[in-house]
């Protein structure tokens, strides 16, 4: 089994990013990958600082779409909401700053990780998901774009300052590339030897079986730790900070 590994190992013993101001700009697109010396998969893994095992069993994906953004201090294990509104999705940390980037409808917004109001930066139709920011290129974010011609999304880089979108072509006839794109669509990723994942949970209640999703962090030789503890409410879409000390996720808002 092949394994790609680019991230420095962060310890579960610790379980203990500068954005421009909002403004109007046109989206620009190009079809050239940032580097042609690496394969599509290797370039993305290096950019995101994650590892990938082809053929590994994928974790079930939550049906969660939008919700509140919550943040976890991985040292203390404490969690609290960053937003009051339940209209957010796909949060990611921006390396080199204290900010989080997220989607709210078609808007790309900035949220301070220390707390504060969400600030709209710009609108960007067609972004399906923010996957992650580059630790060595923090002004760029890997995104998935809706693809009307295929069941698989397009993969691209969003440059936050210019709003430019750069397509990262992959071989749609390659089962290896398609499997990797499916991995990017999911919410479970491996950072070094530690894995952040979304898992189904169940419990029995008077009305029957309650099913929801929670966010877990695990490492070899250690039991998976439930860091969201949502207890009957769907939680998912996790993203780990570049230094491994913070984690954000989305918590479904009941009734919305």
pLDDT of residue 29: 45
pLDDT of residue 256: 52
* Of the listed ranges 21-25, 60-64, 240-244, the one predicted with least confidence: 21-25
Task: Give me the residue spans of the domains in the chain.
Answer: 24-251
pLDDT of residue 26: 46
CB count within 10 Å of CB 110 equals: 22
Q: Confirm if 141 and 162 have CB atoms less than 8 A apart.
A: no
CB count within 10 Å of CB 33 equals: 20
pLDDT tier at 61, thresholds 50, 70, 90: low
Closest among 225, 216, 207, 209 to 249, alpha carbons compared? 216
Handedness of CA 219, 242, 60, 225 (dihedral sign): positive
Closest among 170, 142, 187 to 49, alpha carbons compared? 142
Is pLDDT larger for residue 30 or for residue 44?
44
pLDDT of residue 88: 97
- What's the whole-number average pLDDT of the chain? 84
Q: Which positions ≥6 away from 211 have C-beta within 8 Å?
A: 200, 201, 202
In degrees and rounded to multiples of 5, residue 101 shows phi and psi of: -105, 140
pLDDT of residue 37: 66
Is pLDDT larger for residue 124 or for residue 10?
124
- Residue 177: DSSP 8-state: H
Using CA atoms, how far apart are residues 12 and 15, in angstroms rounded to an integer?
5
Percent of the chain with pLDDT over 90: 64
Statement: residue 42 has pLDDT above 90: yes
Region 175-195: what's the mean pLDDT? 91
Query: 234-246: per-residue pLDDT in tens?
Result: 999 999 998 889 9
Question: What value, to the nearest 5°, has the Cα angle with vertex 183 and ends 244 and 106?
Answer: 80
Q: Which positions ≥6 away from 115 have C-beta within 8 Å?
A: 82
Query: 67-107: per-residue pLDDT in tens?
Result: 999 999 999 999 999 998 899 999 999 887 889 999 999 99
For the chain, count helices (H), then strands (E): 2, 17
Handedness of CA 163, 240, 106, 156 (dihedral sign): positive
For residue 252, give the 3-state DSSP assignment: coil
Residue 103's Cβ-count burial label (10 Å; 0-12, 13-18, 19+) is: buried
């Amino acid at each position: 089994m092949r394994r790609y590994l680019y991230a420095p190992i962060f310890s579960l013993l610790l379980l203990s990013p500068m954005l421009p101001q909002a403004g109007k700009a046109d989206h620009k697109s190009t079809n050239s990958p940032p580097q042609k010396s690496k394969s599509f998969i290797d370039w993305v893994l290096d950019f995101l600082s994650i590892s990938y095992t082809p053929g590994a069993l994928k974790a079930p994906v939550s049906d969660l779409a939008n919700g509140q953004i919550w943040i976890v201090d991985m040292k203390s294990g404490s969690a609290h909401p960053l937003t009051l509104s339940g209209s957010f999705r796909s949060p990611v940390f921006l390396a080199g700053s204290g900010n989080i980037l997220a989607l709210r409808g078609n808007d790309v917004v900035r949220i301070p990780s220390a707390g504060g109001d969400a600030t709209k930066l710009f609108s960007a139709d067609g972004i399906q998901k923010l996957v992650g920011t580059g630790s060595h290129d923090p002004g760029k974010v890997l995104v998935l774009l809706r693809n009307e011609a295929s069941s698989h999304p397009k993969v691209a880089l969003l440059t936050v300052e210019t709003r430019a979108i750069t397509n990262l072509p992959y071989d749609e006839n390659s089962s290896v590339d398609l499997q990797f794109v499916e991995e990017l669509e999911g919410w479970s990723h491996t950072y070094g030897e530690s894995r952040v994942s979304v898992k189904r949970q169940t419990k029995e209640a008077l009305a029957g079986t309650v099913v929801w999703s929670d966010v877990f962090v695990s490492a070899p030789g250690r039991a998976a730790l439930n860091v969201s503890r949502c207890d009957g409410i769907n939680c998912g879409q996790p993203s780990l900070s570049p230094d491994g000390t913070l984690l954000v996720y989305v918590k479904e808002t009941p009734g919305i």
